[in-house]
Amino acid sequence: CNFSGRVQRYSEAKTRQLQILNHVRGLSQGEKANFQLHSLLDFEKLQSQLCSCGNYLVFHQYHTVGQVRLAKASFCKNHLMCQLCAIRRGAKQVQGYLGKYEQVVAKNSSLRPYMLTLTVKNGDSLPERFDHLQNSVRKLLQRRRDFVSKGLGKTQLGKSDGGVFSYELTKSKSGWHPHCHMVVMLDPENPIDFPFDTRPQKYDKEAWSKLSP
């Protein structure tokens, strides 16, 4: 049942969670007061949540069905700050969408899931970069709705029969890097047009052709 792998994954998440906890503890009162989301965060409560979350996990092994299930645990459910709760939230979302995915494939067996990543240039201001990305994604989805329901305009995303997406925010030396990960259902015979002539410089033509649909 990949029990050891699951425990290892929780262990690594707990280690990252403690790093976040130590960072929060190390913030001065002035830094906490000037924090951009200070009005939405109760730092004392956050510290208590991160400190107690995942301190114990109780697994039950069901021999008759060959499964090991997490039966009891202490979770804070603060998935934005807690690595353990982020893992559990992601797993629940996957389970929730899996049934819908199977229904779509049952109706049209030719459809395949494709990974599509939409991004913007890095920048120093996270709110400005994220607003730019979010507004662009909204515009793209609206164009798809207009194309599918009304036949108006033309968009490559109109080739998809549905999908799911989520935003991810990372930071590097070059600034904040918000991007949007999508899983879209496409007919392999009619994929989204991939601009071969605009490949990043780090890929040569041969490598680029292997990465594209």
CATH of the domain at 134: 3.30.300
Residue-level pLDDT at 38: 47
Residue-level pLDDT at 142: 95
Domain that holds residue 15: 3-95
**Whether residues 129 and 160 fall in one domain:** yes
Beta carbons within 8 Å of 88's beta carbon, 6+ residues apart: 75, 79
Q: Could you tell me if residue 100 is inside a domain?
A: no
Residue-level pLDDT at 196: 60
Q: Could you tell me if residue 80 is inside a domain?
A: yes
Let me know if 150 is exposed, middle or buried by CB neighbors in 10 A (0-12, 13-18, 19+): exposed
| Token pair of 14 as six digits | 């707990």
**Whether residues 67 and 150 fall in one domain:** no
Q: Which stretches of the chain score pLDDT less than 70? A: 33-41, 194-201, 208-213
Q: Cα–Cα distances in Å, from 132 out to 49, 145, 184, 207?
A: 33, 20, 22, 30
Q: What is the pLDDT of residues 167-184, one digit of tens each?
A: 998 888 999 999 999 999
Residue recorded with tokens 């700050």:
81
Residue-level pLDDT at 94: 87
Q: Cα–Cα distances in Å, from 206 out to 6, 141, 196?
A: 37, 32, 11
Residue-level pLDDT at 200: 66
**Whether residues 38 and 78 fall in one domain:** yes
**Whether residues 89 and 113 fall in one domain:** no
**Whether residues 65 and 112 fall in one domain:** no
Domain count across the chain: 2
Q: Could you tell me if residue 83 is inside a domain?
A: yes
**Whether residues 199 and 155 fall in one domain:** yes
Q: Which of 66, 95, 124 is the C-terminal boundary of a domain?
A: 95
C-alpha–C-alpha distance, residues 68 and 59, integer Å: 7
pTM metric for this prediction: 0.68
Q: Which of 95, 120, 144 is the C-terminal boundary of a domain?
A: 95
Q: Could you tell me if residue 129 is inside a domain?
A: yes
Residue-level pLDDT at 121: 92
